[in-house]
């Protein structure tokens, strides 16, 4: 491809800003870091410039990550990374001495790193990596070009430029060589990528309400109890077992991947010493962990029976032991319990949702906000019709679309069949 292709018209800076560390640690401000002779020797030289080419992130085959979301994410994660590398948000400073000499040091003054968002219109990954000779436009993907290290007195010690390509992202980084060597440079990049990955952009999710009528629930409960020759399985356990099997059946997971189902049990009816006037959380979490293949091979009854077993274990004694254990060793749940292949249930169909009348009639529907939603969260509500249950499923669009075509699952869902009418809807 000729150099003529890479005209300046195709490159456009969409925005430049200063990025500061996320925390407000006053101790880092105005801290002085002396330069070594090795550092000083590089003052007349140029900075380190390295860049990485990535494909555009995709959460599904059909939907790409929104560019603005990606840029904001990288800017935020860069700010968090500067908490651990505060000198990169500073500037060089010079002191004149009486003997006509000058000394340089790093002033951690929180002046900020340079962050540029740019776009190379019409340039693809292949245009960059396939030519025998590196195209000159690549040089424009780096900030602070032409700078000498001693100019760090007035210019950023760290500059990052994120350039959007047609099918990719180029992350170019420029770091003052009098401040850092190659080891430090890649330590910074490694740390930034790790922090960015830990706070990854969440995949696109959708919510759908599934209605289960009183009659459908009764049939599911009867089926579950019949399969395992018992009458201990509840209506809710039968629904959740049925739901979990359908989700795994319609999710793209390996048969031997571990699947977890977290169930929240309330202490209200189990902890007798808890006063009725108690206002606050009183919950305990239990879980089922099985291979995806096992969930599919077992019927609704076997999965529901396992759910029943876990819930039955949540006795008053267990609640007290759990509280005493937490007090002895306080701990918070790890983020990974909300990661891939996790299902969890919140709320309860026992709550009085549709009985609320503020003076102009009862509600016709109930919905949830976006907080605490993740791929696999099921929110339970009583239905608008007596004895019915609504399940708000937060899942990937692909899983929800596949479930809509799952006859075994959808034949139990009320409201997605011809002739369904919500009697509360305005006429």
Length in residues, the chain: 427
State which H helix or E strand residue 186 sits in: helix 182-198
Give the Cα separation of 369 and 373 in Å (integer): 8
Which of 143, 125, 122, 14 lies closest to 68, judged by CA? 14
CA atoms 135, 136, 140, 144: torsion sign: positive
CA 124 distance to own-chain centroid: 28
- Residue 398: partners with Cβ closer than 8 Å, 6 or more residues away: 60, 252
Backbone angles phi, psi at 345, to 5 degrees: -120, 135
Kindly state the DSSP code that residue 369 receives in the 8-state scheme.
-
User: Rounded CA gap, 271 and 213, in Å?
Assistant: 32
- Report helix, strand or coil for 37: helix
Using the Cα atoms of residue 226, residue 306, residue 220 and residue 233 in order, give the sign of their dihedral: positive
Whole-angstrom distance, CA of residue 78 vs CA of residue 186: 14
Can you say whether the dihedral through the CA atoms of 53, 59, 64, 69 is positive or negative?
negative
β-strands 113-120, 158-164 pairing: parallel
Which one of the listed residues 99, 100, 357, 407 is annotated catalytic?
357
Residue 66 appears among annotated catalytic residues: no
Contact 303, 245 (CB under 8 A): yes
Alpha-carbon torsion (310, 313, 319, 322), positive or negative: negative
User: Among the options 21, 117, 177, 242, which is catalytic?
Assistant: 177
Q: Which two tokens stand for residue 322?
A: 């759990």
Token pair belonging to 138: 């690549």
- The verdict on whether 177 is a catalytic residue reads yes
Distance CA 29, CA 313 (A): 54
As a whole number of Å, the CA-based R_g of the chain is: 29
Residue 194: phi and psi, rounded to 5, are -65, -45
Active centre residues (catalytic): 177, 357
């Amino acid at each position: 491809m000729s150099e003529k292709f890479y005209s300046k018209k195709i490159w456009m800076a969409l925005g430049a800003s200063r990025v500061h560390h996320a925390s407000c640690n006053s101790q880092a401000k105005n801290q002085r870091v002396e330069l070594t002779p090795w550092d000083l020797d590089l003052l007349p030289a140029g900075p380190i410039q390295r860049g990485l080419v990535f494909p555009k992130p995709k959460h599904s085959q059909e939907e790409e990550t929104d560019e603005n979301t990606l840029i904001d994410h990288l800017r935020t994660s860069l700010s968090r990374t500067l908490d651990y590398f505060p000198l990169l948000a500073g500037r060089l400073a010079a002191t004149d001495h009486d003997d006509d000499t000058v000394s340089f040091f790093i002033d951690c003054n929180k002046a900020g790193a340079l962050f540029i968002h740019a776009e190379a219109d019409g340039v693809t990954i292949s245009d960059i990596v396939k030519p025998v000779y590196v195209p000159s436009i690549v040089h424009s993907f780096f900030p602070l070009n032409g700078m000498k290290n001693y100019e760090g007195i007035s210019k950023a010690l760290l500059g990052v430029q994120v350039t959007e390509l047609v099918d990719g992202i180029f992350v170019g980084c420029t770091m003052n060589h009098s401040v850092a060597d190659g080891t430090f440079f890649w330590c910074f990049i490694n740390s930034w990528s790790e922090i960015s990955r830990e706070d990854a952009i969440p995949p696109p999710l959708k919510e759908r309400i599934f209605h289960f009528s009183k009659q459908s629930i009764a049939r599911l409960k009867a089926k579950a109890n019949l399969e395992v020759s018992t009458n201990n399985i509840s209506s809710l356990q039968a629904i959740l077992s049925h739901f979990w099997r359908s989700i795994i059946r319609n999710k793209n997971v390996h048969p031997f991947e571990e699947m977890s189902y977290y169930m929240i049990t309330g202490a209200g009816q189990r902890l007798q010493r808890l006063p009725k006037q108690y206002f606050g959380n009183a919950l305990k979490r239990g879980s089922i962990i099985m291979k995806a293949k096992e969930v599919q091979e077992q019927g609704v009854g076997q999965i529901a029976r396992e759910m029943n077993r876990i819930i039955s274990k949540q006795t008053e004694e267990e609640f007290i032991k759990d509280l005493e254990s937490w007090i002895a060793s306080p701990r918070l749940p790890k983020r990974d319990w909300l990661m891939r292949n996790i299902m969890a249930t919140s709320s309860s169909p026992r709550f009085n949702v549709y009985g609320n009348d503020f003076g102009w009639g009862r509600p016709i529907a109930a919905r949830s906000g976006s907080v605490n939603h993740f791929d696999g969260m099921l929110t339970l509500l009583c239905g608008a019709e007596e004895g019915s249950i609504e399940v708000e499923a937060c899942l990937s669009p692909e899983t929800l679309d596949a479930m809509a075509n799952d006859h075994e699952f959808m034949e139990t869902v009320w409201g997605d069949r011809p002739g369904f009418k919500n009697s509360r809807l305005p006429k």
